[in-house]
Structure 1
Amino acid sequence: MHLGSSHHEDFDFPIEKFEMMLKTNEILFFDASEFENIIAHYMDSGRLALAKKALKLALDQHPSATNLLLMKAEILSFEDKFDSAISLLQDLKALEPNNEEIYILIANVYSKQDLHNEAIKVLDEALKFADDLVEIHSIMGMEYLFLEDFDKAKNSYISCLENDENDYTALYNIIYCFDFLDQSEEAIIFLKSFLDNNPYCEVAWHQLGKLYFEAKNYSKALEAFDFAIISDDYFIGAYLEKGKVLERLHRYKEAIECYTLTLQIDDPTAFAYLRIGKCFLKLNQPENALKNYKKALHEDPLLDKVWLALTDFHIKIKDFKKALYYINKAINIDEENVLYWKHYAIINLELDNIQDSAFGLKKSLELGNYELDTWLNRIDLLINTQEFEEAFLTLKQAEDFFPNHPELDFRFAGVHFELGDFEMAKLHLDSALENNPEILSLLVDLFPSFDVNMKKKD
């Protein structure tokens, strides 16, 4: 909080005058408000040394100016001199017990030290006389969020909204708290009640629509987004969400119309083109789909979901070389995405790039994709390339997630056999057959030599 900082750009002359004074060592007079803006200018631009120099001169000329002393406390806080800042602020509080800015700064200093309960106590005290209740409640809400007390944070933001029905930041934070508390029904009730008194609040309708969408109540969601658009027919977010609902209802032509409207209202977005492309694909119009995917790339070449859509498109038409090119683009943007590595593995398998496919599955596992199919596909690739030691280690890892699973047991049997441990091979084979007698044929398919040689060992 910089006092007067929001208008410091209007005070170029005092800043030039101050900097000229520094060059000439001539002491010039500034009134307190000019000093406030000079100090705020330097604080906003991160030039703390100049801010401190200006503050020293300011206090020399105006030693009892409250706003300048508040700025001194703020600078002390920036420098982590919390005790000095609090001491100064407490002195100011004794002189001006009804100055809410002092209480806000004390709360900020406490908050910087993670003393959130102390900050809340100070803010609660300020509520008794503050003119700007919205700011106090808003800061209190943030302090409660730091404490992960979402219920009290929600109540603080509700108080903000009660004092200013246009405080949309508070409205978003209320819904965030409801969501964290897993209270979607309560959130819907709250929004409906709010809309009874504010029927043209597009943000509330938009949030209500999203809640209905998450609850799969698509008719109610559609109704809410329509009301959001009636309240503000330039509200792009409502058109986009309405388009998503229409997709779920398989009304793809109407969805395309919604997304297209967003392109006309404002600058085109990659997301809108991507959704239009997916709708065209559902309508069995692949050329139009591809055209819109490419428009999406033109708008945002770093939107990895577009590269994934192009990958899926080319997998569908069995053009795996192009699919590999596109999935590599997606991976270059987000190499931590499990889905991309699974696609990479599948595509490389189709291209007979066995080592690359195995690497893709390994990356999927390293990134936390512990589905049984991922384990089995990697193990089978290692078996096919006769990397039995690595296959055994991977089986052991998979066993931690799927103990005594017949799909793992028969593979254990084959791998133990290939490694020459016939006793363990027999043990796992018996276990696998006990759970699924039909599994022997799968084992022979994966380990062609197993059947004959096992009989010899018997």
Structure 2
Amino acid sequence: MVRRFLILVFILFTFSALSAQDKDARSPEAGQAYNEGNSLVKQKKYEQAIPKYLAAIKADANFPQANYMVAISYQKTKQYQKAIEYFKNAIKLDNKFEKAYIALGNLQMGLEEFSDAINSFNAVLSFNPQSAKANYGLGKIYKTKKDYKKAIKYLKAALEANPKYDRAWNILGLVYDEQKQYKKAAEAYSNAIKNTRSKALKASYSYRLGVAQINIKKYKEAEKNLLTALKLTRKGTIKAASNFYLGEVYKHLGQKQKAIRYYTQAAKNRTWQKAADYEIDLIKNPDKYAY
């Protein structure tokens, strides 16, 4: 009796294993084409990768990863509607394919198809409520729509799932900034800085932190962060903005010559020229503006 039971268990286990193998099995043609596509993507040869992935899909119609990768390749080559089509195909084949939902939502958000993007991110939350990326995506959308209450809710959910999510801290800082809650904005930007290794992002976050600190009159802290932004950034826009706000710092600290020096640097940028020239003239000719 025991022997018969063990044989039955073995048969059931073997059948289950074979069923799983059949489900995940790929034809040699599909696997080879898919791997060739991946190799081309690694070289950023997206145009050449597309026919490889399409060949993989033709050889195996039930291949969500190939649909996902061809969608990524279409997106990289700015063929956005085709990208959307294949992200959706990947999701039809695997209705819990989180990466595909997130990529689709991000693309829809970039195309300002906000209702569709919300649906894509909410679909993820229906089976993974703790998804940091889905919550972050929703937070970004609601910030854009100026629905700050919802933006904060979703961004905090993203940060609860991943406290080191620097981009979520940054967007949360922007949400607080737009509501003139500068102390909370400064705290969020500080956390963004702590959790990124990217010099470019650290420069951007340091600039935003410096401006928030000016708004709460922490001028010495603002000076430090704006100088950091100036040192780390390679972007002309951030350089000019950092120079302008360093001018603001030194103006408030009563260091007029230093303020003029940084305003002069800012004035070299067309965006900041008018504001910087005005501040320089205000320092040099105060009587002109006395009423």
Q: Distance in 2 between matches of 1:261 and 1:382?
A: 46
Partner of residue 5, structure 1: none
Note if 1:338 corresponds to 2:206: no
For the 8 Å contact 2:186–2:212, the answer to whether it is kept is yes
Partner of residue 407, structure 1: 268
For the 8 Å contact 2:30–2:55, the answer to whether it is kept is no
3-state SS, counterpart of residue 359 of structure 1: helix
1:272 is displaced (CA, Å) by 1.0
How has the CA–CA distance of structure 1 residues 267 and 164 changed in structure 2, closer, same or farther, with 3 Å as cutoff? farther
Partner of residue 132, structure 1: none
Aligned letter for 1:250?
E
3-state SS, counterpart of residue 268 of structure 2: helix
Higher relative contact order (CA 8 A, sep 6+): 2
3-state SS, counterpart of residue 407 of structure 1: coil
Q: Distance in 1 between matches of 2:227 and 2:147?
A: 36
Note if 1:290 corresponds to 2:127: no
Q: Once the two structures are superposed, what CA deviation does each residue of 1:78-135 show, in whole Å capped at 9, x if it has no partner?
A: xxxxxxxxxxxxxxxxxxxxxxxxxxxxxxxxxxxxxxxxxxxxxxxxxxxxxxxxxx
TM-score by length of 2: 0.72
Q: Once the two structures are superposed, what CA deviation does each residue of 1:261-319 show, in whole Å capped at 9, x if it has no partner?
A: 22233462111111122223344432222221221122111111221121111101111
Note if 1:236 corresponds to 2:94: no
Equivalent of 1:357, from 222, 246, 252?
222
Q: Distance in 1 between matches of 2:111 and 2:58?
A: 28
After superposition, where does 1:154-233 map in structure 2 within 5 Å? Answer: 163=28, 165-166=30-31, 170-171=35-36, 173-179=38-44, 183-233=45-95
For the 8 Å contact 1:361–1:377, the answer to whether it is kept is no
Aligned letter for 1:319?
Q
Q: Distance in 1 between matches of 2:91 and 2:72?
A: 14
1:382 is displaced (CA, Å) by 6.1
How has the CA–CA distance of structure 1 residues 289 and 449 changed in structure 2, closer, same or farther, with 3 Å as cutoff? closer
- Structure 1 unmatched runs, 5+: 1-160, 399-404, 409-435, 452-458
Partner of residue 101, structure 1: none
For the 8 Å contact 2:105–2:121, the answer to whether it is kept is yes
Note if 1:447 corresponds to 2:277: no
Aligned letter for 1:444?
D
For the 8 Å contact 1:212–1:218, the answer to whether it is kept is yes
Equivalent of 2:173, from 295, 306, 311?
311
1:364 is displaced (CA, Å) by 0.8
Q: Distance in 1 between matches of 2:96 and 2:191?
A: 34
Q: Distance in 2 between matches of 1:170 and 1:323?
A: 45
TM-score by length of 1: 0.48
Q: Once the two structures are superposed, what CA deviation does each residue of 1:249-270 show, in whole Å capped at 9, x if it has no partner?
A: 3332332222122223346211
Aligned letter for 1:377?
F
Aligned residues: 251
Note if 1:258 corresponds to 2:125: no
Q: Distance in 1 between matches of 2:258 and 2:207?
A: 23
How has the CA–CA distance of structure 1 residues 168 and 338 changed in structure 2, closer, same or farther, with 3 Å as cutoff? farther
Aligned letter for 2:211?
I
Aligned letter for 2:151?
A
Q: Once the two structures are superposed, what CA deviation does each residue of 1:217-271 show, in whole Å capped at 9, x if it has no partner?
A: 3211110111111222221111111111222333323322221222233462111
How has the CA–CA distance of structure 1 residues 263 and 177 changed in structure 2, closer, same or farther, with 3 Å as cutoff? same
Equivalent of 2:111, from 249, 255, 272?
249
For the 8 Å contact 2:122–2:134, the answer to whether it is kept is yes
How has the CA–CA distance of structure 1 residues 175 and 203 changed in structure 2, closer, same or farther, with 3 Å as cutoff? farther
How has the CA–CA distance of structure 1 residues 230 and 278 changed in structure 2, closer, same or farther, with 3 Å as cutoff? same
1:164 is displaced (CA, Å) by 6.1
Q: Distance in 2 between matches of 1:314 and 1:296?
A: 16
How has the CA–CA distance of structure 1 residues 306 and 383 changed in structure 2, closer, same or farther, with 3 Å as cutoff? closer
Partner of residue 377, structure 1: 244
For the 8 Å contact 2:87–2:101, the answer to whether it is kept is yes
